Amino acid sequence: MKHILTFSFVLVISAFIYPQEMRQNSFKSLFSDEKANKIGDAITILVVESSQASNNAETQAARSSSLSLSGKGQAGKTTLPTVDLGLGTNNDFTGSGSTKTTGMIRTKISATIDSVLRNGNLLVRGSRKIKINGEEQIVKIKGIVRLSDIAADNSVLSYNISEAEIEFSGSGLIERSQSPGWLTKIFHMLF
């Protein structure tokens, strides 16, 4: 009995010395892995973006005006010269244009939680740099993720990220060959 009383006393004292906050374990589940929810935790972003836009415009305008003056005269048996004056203007304009863009991006990128907002949403940020044969590609992503959008494997789809900023850039031989030369750039600045 003495040991049980001592053990109970030690348990009560340790509960006061090392209290546990219940919110600390609120994201843990008995049936799944722990989801990323703290600053520095890693998260996988599945970038699946496709965009399609088209725009057509047609304009047609016409304007026409004319002014005419005509005169004939006769005095006695003499015929006066005939005066004829005509003035006309015509203005036609027809214009049309269309644009169409499509794009598709699919990649997987790992990011980390940069900060936790007051409402529990997570600000995530990540980048990846790939260099192959002198060609360099950089993928950067940033945005806000809700905890409920994070899957059990700590992944989130890019279209579930609010205020998402996804940037793809590259440099190397291909990028240089696609940009205009310095002489062309000078002509574009002058004309």
Same domain, yes or no, for 109 and 165?
Answer: yes
Structural domain range at position 118: 2-54+100-179
Residue type, 174: I
The answer, yes or no, to whether residue 138 has pLDDT greater than 70, is: yes
Same domain, yes or no, for 74 and 47?
Answer: no
Residue 163 confidence (pLDDT): 92
Same domain, yes or no, for 123 and 79?
Answer: no
Same domain, yes or no, for 44 and 11?
Answer: yes
Tokens matching residue 138? 């950089």
Calculate mean pLDDT across residues 51-73.
Answer: 73
Last residue of a domain, one of 99, 114, 129: 99
Q: pLDDT of 145-182, one tens digit each?
A: 998 898 888 899 988 999 989 888 877 665 566 667 77
Domain membership flag for residue 190: no
- Which of 121, 156, 152 minimizes the C-alpha distance to 141? 156
Tell me the H-state helices in the chain: 2-17, 173-178, 182-190
Calculate mean pLDDT across residues 50-78.
Answer: 71
Total domains in the fold of the chain: 2
The answer, yes or no, to whether residue 83 has pLDDT greater than 90, is: no
Q: Is the pTM of this model over 0.85?
A: no
Same domain, yes or no, for 158 and 125?
Answer: yes
Continuous segment of H or E residues that includes residue 155: strand 155-157
Same domain, yes or no, for 84 and 11?
Answer: no
Domain membership flag for residue 186: no
Q: In whole angstroms, give the CA distance from residue 140 to residue 112.
A: 12
Domain membership flag for residue 191: no
Residue 8 confidence (pLDDT): 81
Exposure pattern of 23-42 as b/e (b: 16+ CB <10 Å)? eeeeeeeeeeeebbbeeebe
Residue 169's contacts (CB-CB under 8 Å, 6 or more residues apart) are 137, 138, 140
Same domain, yes or no, for 109 and 172?
Answer: yes
Q: Which residues pair with 86 in a beta bridge?
A: 68
Q: In whole angstroms, give the CA distance from residue 160 to residue 114.
A: 17
Residue type, 182: W
Same domain, yes or no, for 41 and 88?
Answer: no
Same domain, yes or no, for 133 and 145?
Answer: yes
Last residue of a domain, one of 39, 65, 99: 99
Residue type, 67: L
